[in-house]
Chains A and B, each alone.
Chain A
Amino acid sequence: MRRIAAIAAAKAAAALSQRLRVGGGTALPGLLAEWIDPNIVPEMARRLGEGSVIVTGTNGKTTTARLLRGIVRAAGLRVVANRAGSNLMRGIAAALAESAGLGGDFAGARRLLGVFEVDEATLPQAVRALRPRVVLFTNLFRDQLDRYGEVEHVAAVWRDAVFALGRSATVVLNADDPSVAALAQAAPGQVLVYGVEDTSRGIDRLEHAADARWCSSCGGELAYATVFYGHLGHWSCPQCRAARPPSRVVATRVEPEAEGTRVAIAMPGAEVSVGLPLMGLYNAYNVLAAVAAAVALGIDAEATERGLSSFTAAFGRQERLTVGGRRVQVILAKNPAGLNEVLRTITADGQQKDVALFLNDDIADGRDVSWIWDVDFDLLAGKVRSLTVSGNRAWDMALRLKYAGLDSLPQVEERAAAALRRALRATPEDATLYVIPTYTAMLRVRALLARWARRPAFWQEG
């Protein structure tokens, strides 16, 4: 009875808040459902015939989960998933309640798989409630420290969560991230490791933003043969025998293309190649992680490739908009290592770029903006035609950029709409405006762009 009431309440709240256009209806339905029936997630998750996959980590959760959903659908399964960014327990509860019938049963439950993006700190609860088949870890970066406490603490929470998994669960780990790779030791069941072998995309030293330079076994300083971005790379510990583990799913080639990236991935007995309409090595990691999770689920290479190619085309269109004859690309900024890789990617061709940076300090962005001092904004020096900064911390960003060796100071406009208009005006027709916002600024920017481009709002996307 309780469950039925919970589901009905969640459905009603979702319908109502979507109607009123408040926040896309993401938080309230789940909160209501959990409040009425605290057991709703474990109870409902049990009914998913194919079980659940959890995707967690600092960077790339949303994209990786999306890619994985595409693969899973190509393999003939149906998917229950939480909405992008709604990655706390209430987001999972809302997704389950929305997908179920009013009686609490899923139609076609036998072929149903849950693919849930889970917040780093929420992992222990999610593991307990979902009893997942596969847990995929992307990476662990210093991110929004004021919210989560320290990187070390997150690593410890993850270790305990992995240790609490059943023996039948597979843990999928990034070999190139030392603190993620170390989770293998805690896994009671199978471990599947993925990594990038193509060293041609490496940089020769750790960037300033890198943070996991210390061996998780002995505490010694790690050595890197290749660094890809942040602290991801080919690492080893000169003091003890800890080293990057051999990978079963491997990116053998990562090649930048005109408006995206081509990735070749080798897995046991097969190889897939995918042209991704997304730039940057971090997106190559997202594809690689999604493919590794597919391998862990027993999905074959043919379905994987089909899923990736059909899905990424649609995905790419969603990420690019045209507003007033200018192309606009929105790229989320979360932390120093991620933003460095974004800057490196958009400036790689040496052309003059039009860029708008939006820095907010709400809870979802991280209240502490000190991380911008660890970003190598010098990458923009000599490479920007126009540079606009906005957000409630616009002046912090302007001050940071004063130290970046640019030819001139950026245009500062705290109000998002005015800043976006100004940045669009400064961008020549047929050129691309790169908009780089923090999380809450991204919601605002995408709502504005969607309105201006007469496109449906982002929360109506599949």
Chain B
Amino acid sequence: MEPNLRLAHLYPKLMNIYGDRGNILCLERRCRERGIGFEVTELGLGEKLKPKEYDLIFIGGAQDREQRRVAEDLVKVKGKALREAVDKGGTLLAVCGGYQLMGRYYRTAEGEELPGVGAFGLWTEHPGPAAKRFIGNVVVEWCGQTLVGFENHGGRTHLDEGVEPLGRVVSGFGNNGEDGGEGAVSRNAYGTYLHGALLPKNPRFADHLIETALRRRHKGLELTPLDDRVEGMAHAAAVRLTTRRGMISR
């Protein structure tokens, strides 16, 4: 049987800031070039998530107002299913605002506490409107390689004891600008502040997600290599620009 990747894209109309579309385009292209089918289901407010129907779940970033509506919907409609999916080893990628909402709670700049899904052992607090936003290019060390992206967040994320970050900050701020961690991992679920878009410029990470997602139904599946020369150049340029300028911006 030809493998196919079934993606659930949560709140595409609300959580679509920072080029999140690029992540979806990237997953689709990297599947199709290998003869892997790709189906995306968009789930908006009020629509139930049935984890068994998907191999990979994606949630992107948003502005504050949209984030509030999504937080409400997560609690009422999709939260339980998401927690179960992550607990059972389902593959998930949550970026920026989506990442914050996967934790236990997000306290906004105004002090309002938005309840999170609790799929990750972490919490996020915005220190208030006067606090510095963490904005800029980021390079993160991940599994002996680098991830590149751009971060733009006011909230500071803290991981529970024992929860692993996605990577170590080489240049940039990461979760909270203090402990050097960026993002979080919970079984096969990944949260990160990196956008840019994240996946096109980090093809190894994109493939890691695809492989992890597909292996639950297709044991031992191996992805064939693709021509990633342009990706490599874009990645290298981002590392070069970030580490040269990152020193100044921190």
**Inter-chain contact B64/A152, CB cutoff 8 Å:** yes
**Inter-chain contact B17/A396, CB cutoff 8 Å:** no
**A163 CB-CB contact with B under 8 Å:** no
**Inter-chain contact A399/B21, CB cutoff 8 Å:** no
- Interface range for A: 20 to 34
Where chain B touches its partner, the secondary structure class is helix
A150-B64, A395-B233, A396-B237 known; A370 vs B25 contact (CB < 8 Å): no
A145-B152, A367-B137, A368-B150 known; A396 vs B19 contact (CB < 8 Å): no
Stretch at the interface among B182-190, B192-200, B216-224: B192-200
What are 10 A-B pairs with beta-carbon distances under 8 A? A145-B17, A145-B18, A146-B136, A152-B63, A219-B69, A373-B20, A373-B25, A392-B237, A392-B241, A412-B233
**B 124-162 contacts with A by CB, 8 A:** 133, 135-137, 150, 152
**A320 CB-CB contact with B under 8 Å:** no
**Inter-chain contact A402/B230, CB cutoff 8 Å:** yes
A392 to B137, CA, bound (A): 14
Given contacts A152-B63, A368-B152, A373-B19, 16 further A-B contacts (CB under 8 A): A145-B17, A221-B13, A361-B241, A367-B136, A370-B18, A370-B195, A370-B196, A370-B197, A373-B197, A374-B19, A393-B237, A395-B234, A399-B200, A399-B201, A399-B230, A399-B231
What residue in chain A is nearest B152 (Cβ atoms)? A146
**A371 CB-CB contact with B under 8 Å:** yes
What residue in chain B is nearest A147 (Cβ atoms)? B135
A367 to B149, CA, bound (A): 11
**Inter-chain contact B19/A372, CB cutoff 8 Å:** yes
What residue in chain B is nearest A398 (Cβ atoms)? B230
A28 to chain B, nearest CB (A): 22
A239 to chain B, nearest CB (A): 13
Residues from chain B with a CB closer than 8 A to the CB of A234 are none
A266 to chain B, nearest CB (A): 35
Residues from chain A with a CB closer than 8 A to the CB of B201 are 396, 399
Residues from chain A with a CB closer than 8 A to the CB of B236 are 395
**Inter-chain contact B22/A370, CB cutoff 8 Å:** yes
A403 to B32, CA, bound (A): 12
**Inter-chain contact B63/A150, CB cutoff 8 Å:** yes
Residues from chain B with a CB closer than 8 A to the CB of A151 are 63
**A109 CB-CB contact with B under 8 Å:** no
**B238 CB-CB contact with A under 8 Å:** yes
Contact with B along A429-457 (1 / 0, CB 8 A): 00000000000000000000000000000
A413 to chain B, nearest CB (A): 12
A370-B197, A371-B19 known; A396 vs B234 contact (CB < 8 Å): yes
**B65 CB-CB contact with A under 8 Å:** yes
A144 to chain B, nearest CB (A): 11
**Inter-chain contact B200/A403, CB cutoff 8 Å:** yes
A159 to chain B, nearest CB (A): 14
What residue in chain A is nearest B195 (Cβ atoms)? A370
Residues from chain A with a CB closer than 8 A to the CB of B29 are 403
B45 to chain A, nearest CB (A): 9
**Inter-chain contact B65/A395, CB cutoff 8 Å:** no
**A425 CB-CB contact with B under 8 Å:** no
**Inter-chain contact A399/B152, CB cutoff 8 Å:** no
A360 to chain B, nearest CB (A): 11
B198 to chain A, nearest CB (A): 9
A394 to B240, CA, bound (A): 13
**A61 CB-CB contact with B under 8 Å:** no
Residues from chain A with a CB closer than 8 A to the CB of B196 are 368-370
Most chain B Cβ neighbours within 10 Å, of A214, A393, A396: A396
**Inter-chain contact A370/B150, CB cutoff 8 Å:** yes
Q: Could you say which of B16, B21, B63, B135 contacts A146, with CB atoms under 8 Å apart?
A: B135
What residue in chain B is nearest A361 (Cβ atoms)? B241
Contact with B along A296-308 (1 / 0, CB 8 A): 0000000000000
A392 to B241, CA, bound (A): 8
Residues from chain B with a CB closer than 8 A to the CB of A142 are 17
**A69 CB-CB contact with B under 8 Å:** no
What residue in chain B is nearest A412 (Cβ atoms)? B233
A394 to B233, CA, bound (A): 10
A398 to B236, CA, bound (A): 13
Residues from chain B with a CB closer than 8 A to the CB of A102 are none
B200 to chain A, nearest CB (A): 6
Residues from chain B with a CB closer than 8 A to the CB of A231 are none
